[in-house]
């Protein structure tokens, strides 16, 4: 079973999807990690992040891996046979500020979307939660469970501020609003598409958010069993 989850920065998609996947015995594919790794790779190769051809050239030569269960581990081989562990590097604030520049290119998105579908198809897991910005609409529009996770900008900034030492709430709020605005030029992750369930986590704690997703998946599993 495929569970598609989208949402803006700090809505809880990654952490909630991971915990829900664990409870369900499913894998988890964090698609943002690939865009982050691509931005990291572009900087590492001194490529122009705004030039789609330069970014596509990296996709032609790199080898990207990500774990679908257990602790997340992400590696990038830039073509020289060395698999760099970028798990921590791609979470750095500097990388977050650059990702929208590589994710804005339509051919880059097409290539990564094909990679995401391949990773899921080859996983041989009973289910995979796949989370990002355009999973419910572009990557897996036919997924039996599709969720848009939201929270107010202030709540999202508060959650992120807890992770980013040294930045004020105002700085974090300004950063995520700027990134969301740039990302939203390419994909709409603020309004649920037809058939997508909205989960607003503004007034939910972490456990309640996880439970909301697990409940939606269990209801879909029951409905599928009944129709068999």
Ligand X SMILES: Nc1ncnc2c1ncn2[C@@H]1O[C@H](COP(=O)(O)OP(=O)(O)O)[C@@H](O)[C@H]1O
Ligand Y SMILES: Nc1ccn([C@@H]2O[C@H](COP(=O)(O)OP(=O)(O)O)[C@@H](O)[C@H]2O)c(=O)n1
**Least separation, in Å, of the C-beta of 156 and ligand Y?**
9
* CA gap 90, 122 in Å, rounded: 24
Token code pair at residue 177: 């609003």
Contact call for residues 204 and 212 (beta carbons, < 8 A):
yes
Q: Which stretch binds ligand X (CB under 6 A): 8-16, 42-50, 58-66, 180-188?
A: 8-16
Among 38, 159, 173, 175, binds ligand X (CB under 6 A): 159
**Least separation, in Å, of the C-beta of 156 and ligand X?**
7
CA–centroid distance for 83 within its chain: 22
- Return the number of the residue (15 or 72) whose C-beta is nearest ligand X: 15
The residue whose two tokens read 């599928």 is 224
**Least separation, in Å, of the C-beta of 217 and ligand Y?**
20
* Residue 202, annotated as binding a ligand: no
* Residue 52, annotated as binding a ligand: no
Contact call for residues 31 and 14 (beta carbons, < 8 A):
no
* Residue 126, annotated as binding a ligand: no
- Return the number of the residue (191 or 205) whose C-beta is nearest ligand X: 205
Got the DSSP string for 21-45? Answer: HHHHT-EEEETHHHHHHHHHHHHHT
117's CB contacts (< 8 A; 6+ apart) are 139, 140
**Least separation, in Å, of the C-beta of 82 and ligand X?**
28
* Residue 41, annotated as binding a ligand: no
Which residues of this protein are in contact with ligand X, per CB under 6 A?
7, 9-16, 159-160, 162-163, 201, 204-206, 209
For the annotated binding site for ATP, the residues are 7-15
């Amino acid at each position: 079973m495929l569970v598609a989850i989208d949402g803006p920065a700090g809505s809880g998609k990654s952490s909630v999807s991971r915990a829900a996947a664990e409870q369900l015995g499913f894998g988890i594919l964090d698609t943002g990690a690939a865009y982050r790794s691509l931005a990291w790779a572009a900087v590492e190769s001194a490529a122009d992040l705004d030039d789609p051809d330069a970014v596509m050239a990296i996709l032609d030569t790199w080898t990207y891996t990500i774990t679908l269960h257990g602790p997340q581990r992400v590696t990038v081989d830039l073509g020289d046979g060395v698999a760099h562990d970028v798990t921590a590097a791609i979470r750095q604030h500097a990388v977050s500020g650059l990702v929208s520049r590589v994710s804005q290119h339509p051919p880059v998105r097409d290539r990564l979307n094909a990679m995401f579908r391949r990773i899921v198809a080859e996983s041989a897991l009973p289910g995979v939660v796949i989370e990002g910005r355009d999973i419910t609409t572009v990557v897996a529009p036919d997924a039996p469970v599709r969720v848009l996770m939201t929270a107010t900008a202030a709540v999202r900034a508060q959650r992120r501020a807890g992770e980013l030492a040294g930045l004020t709430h105002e700085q974090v709020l300004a950063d995520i609003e700027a990134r969301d605005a740039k990302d939203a030029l390419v994909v709409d992750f603020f309004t649920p598409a037809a058939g997508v369930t909205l989960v607003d986590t503004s007034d939910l704690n972490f456990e309640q958010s996880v439970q909301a997703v697990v409940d939606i998946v269990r209801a879909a599993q029951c409905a599928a069993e009944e129709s068999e």
